[in-house]
Each structure stands twice: as C-alpha cells, then as structure tokens.
Copies of this chain bind each other. A is one copy, B any other.
Amino acid sequence: MFATFLFHENFSLLIEVIGTIAFAMSGAFAAMQYKLDPFGVLIIAFATAVGGGTIRDLLLGAPVFWMHDMLICTVIFVTAIFSMIFRSVEKKYKNTLFIFDSIGLGLFTIIGVQKGLEFGHHPVICLTLGTITGCFGGVLRDILINRIPLLLRKEIYATACIIGGTAFIIMTYIPGFSSQLVQISTILIIILIRSIAVKYRLHIPKFYLN
C-alpha cells in the first residue's frame, strides 16, 4: 500500500526528471549550435525544459511546477553544465540524443494529459494540454534562438504527441492496464512513431496543395 504509493510517486518523478534532462539537453545543444555564451546555454536549456510545463500549469490555474521544486532546477543546471563539458557527446551519440528527445516528448505529453485528467477536464482538452506540454518547450527554444519552430518542420512531431496522447487516454480507461503500463506503452508508441517518421522521412501529405 504505502510501498505501492511510493512506487507510483517515484515512477512519476522519474518520468519528470528524465523528460527534463532530455529537453534541457536539447535546449543546451541548440544554444551551443548557435554559439551562445554559457549563460545563454543555461537560459535556453531552462526555457526548453520548463516551457511546456509552465504553459500547462498557467492554463490549468495550477502552481507553476518548477517554482516549488528545487530538484527540477538542479537537474536542469547539472544537465546544461554536463552538455557543455561533454559537447562532443552530440556528434558521437546522435541516435542516443534523438531517442532522448523522443522520450522527452513522450514523457511531457503524458504528464500534460495526466494533469489535465486530474483537473477533471474533457479528454480532448487533455489531449491538447498534453500536446502543448510536449511541444511548447521546443517552440520556446526556437523562438528565443530565432528559427522556425522545429515543431512545424520536423517529420511528424506534434502528430506523434497527438497519437500517443490519444493512445494514453484510451488505455487509461481500460480497466486492466496499470498506470505504469499505460505510461510506458505511450512512450514506446511516441518513440516508435518518431523513429519510423525520421527513418523513412515520412510526412503527412499536404492534401490541400492542389
């Protein structure tokens, strides 16, 4: 009982930390690509990691998560420093980083959908919240370094969130699935969609172009 509670709490926390590391890395590497100074790298890493969750909490009228959580701030700071020290990681481990970015996207989408459900919102609203939570950090990062948001250019980025989030909501309502199983399945779905999309250079056909 209490052990199960601890397991649930720790699993949610682990998800949040891994997602934060993933997006902080994504922001740090983008900032270094644009040759920003170390404080600029820290700022972009921070904005990317907390952007989605901040918008989500403002929309829900909830306390903004990172303002009450020194762990998140510490994780971001350490990740940014690590990213700068081990800059070469980006080139040698391009696949690992891509997996990490997709994990972050999936994790933050799940957290967003989940929080919306906890607040009693309609599933479609929760899906929107999850997509916003997953994508907005990257959008903020791209706005700050002044490039077209990757969200709108990358192969099937937001689509992966929407499909994954829908799967999450459906699985949540199925009695047999434990919450960890639902979360892990959703993350795997999103990673799979992103991987297939990037490998086969898939795009949603722009059927409106006659």
The reply to whether A59 and B70 form a contact with Cβ atoms under 8 Å apart is no
- The count of identical subunits is 3
* A61 neighbours in B (Cβ, 8 Å): 63-64
* Nearest Cβ on chain B to A72's Cβ, whole angstroms: 10
Across the interface, do A204 and B144 meet the contact criterion of CB distance under 8 Å?
Answer: no
CB distance A206 to B37 under 8 Å?
yes
What residue in chain B is nearest A46 (Cβ atoms)? B128
User: In the assembly, what is the distance between CA of A209 and CA of B88, in Å?
Assistant: 9
Name A residues whose Cβ lies closer than 8 Å to a Cβ of B: 31-32, 34-41, 43-44, 46, 54, 58-61, 63-64, 66-67, 70, 73, 83-85, 87-88, 121-122, 124-125, 128-129, 139, 143-149, 151-152, 156, 158-159, 162, 203-210
Q: A73 to B121, alpha carbons, bound, how many Å? A: 13
- B36 and A84 form a contact (CB under 8 A): no
| Residue from the set A67, A151, A156 with the largest chain B CB neighbour count within 10 Å | A67
Decide if B125 touches A84 in the complex (CB within 8 Å). no
